[in-house]
Amino acid sequence: MFTQFFNLKFNPFTKEVPADKLFESQNLVELNSRLMYLQKARGIGLIIGEAGTGKSSAMRKYAQSLNPALFESFYFPLSTVTVQEFYRGVALELGEEPKHKKVDLFHQIQSAIRSMYYERRVTPVIILDEIHMASNKLLEDLRLIFNFNMDSENPFILILAGQPPIRSKLTLSINHPLRQRILVKHIMSSLQKDELGEYLKTRLVFAGTHEDIFTPPSIEAIYGITSGIPRLVNSLATNCLLVACGKKQRQVDEETVYQAQSELNF
């Protein structure tokens, strides 16, 4: 097994990265400052990024960082819940028995949000992930549910995260009212070229080794193939370790990267 060969406690590039061990890229730092602003202003935030750039991971980290005395977070990925389940889920999570008629359900959600914010002094933070999968109907419904125009302040935080097709959906005139209500927007980018070496290094250190396994040319090659998208970097880097181990090489060189790439069909 390659982990033993490289003196690693586990594969450094697996999917499961604890939220506090996520790599702090410049882009994540920028996202954080936008989220901090949203935390104060409340309202709607939008995070757009290509597949695998780290949106869901960042949301996980954000939810965990919230002070539970002041915020309560709810996470809904649209790939696994239907629209009806989402509405019902929001009501349930807010401690309500979901009503059957949609109009009643919306009122119920609104009043639960109000009571959480004004009575319990806890801000609900609703994270709706994979928002690019939302229909125009759902986007319109969101505007209705999260319309608190009569209130002097926003009693909620709604974060919409998804892949770039959401952008064109939001430019449709039917979705303008929702788009106009987006207070904070962030584009999730992949790792920068000069961040990749540090990223690989911190993952390796976390898994138990301080050895410089990836040579500078191999890092260049990995960047060229993956454009720094963390999910692609992780799977290519794992394969690099496998290939290097197979060749009994303690370092990953450029050639190893291309061999690993051809095995992965990238």
Ligand X SMILES: Nc1ncnc2c1ncn2[C@@H]1O[C@H](COP(=O)(O)OP(=O)(O)OP(=O)(O)O)[C@@H](O)[C@H]1O
Output 127 or 219, the one with its CB closest to Mg ion: 127
Q: Which of 99, 167, 185, 231: binder of ligand X (CB under 6 A)?
A: 231
Can you give the binding site for Mg ion, defined by CB under 5 A? 56
Contacted entry of Mg ion, ligand X, none for residue 39, CB cut-off 5 to 8 Å set by kind: none
By the rule CB under 6 A, 17 interacts with ligand X: yes
Rounded CA separation 251/146 (Å): 53
Query: 118 Cβ partners below 8 Å, 6+ apart?
Result: 155
What's the closest the beta carbon of residue 52 comes to ligand X, in angstroms? 5
Closest to 260 in 3D by CA, of 239, 231, 230: 239
Rounded CA separation 57/199 (Å): 15
Output 49 or 124, the one with its CB closest to ligand X: 49
What's the closest the beta carbon of residue 132 comes to ligand X, in angstroms? 8
Closest to 126 in 3D by CA, of 104, 94, 97: 94
What's the closest the beta carbon of residue 117 comes to ligand X, in angstroms? 28
Output 61 or 179, the one with its CB closest to ligand X: 61
Output 56 or 192, the one with its CB closest to Mg ion: 56
Q: Which of 108, 110, 163, 190: binder of ligand X (CB under 6 A)?
A: 163
What b-and-e string marks burial along 175-212, b requiring 16 or more CB atoms within 10 Å of the CB?
Answer: beebbebebbebebbbbeeebbbebbbebbebbebeee
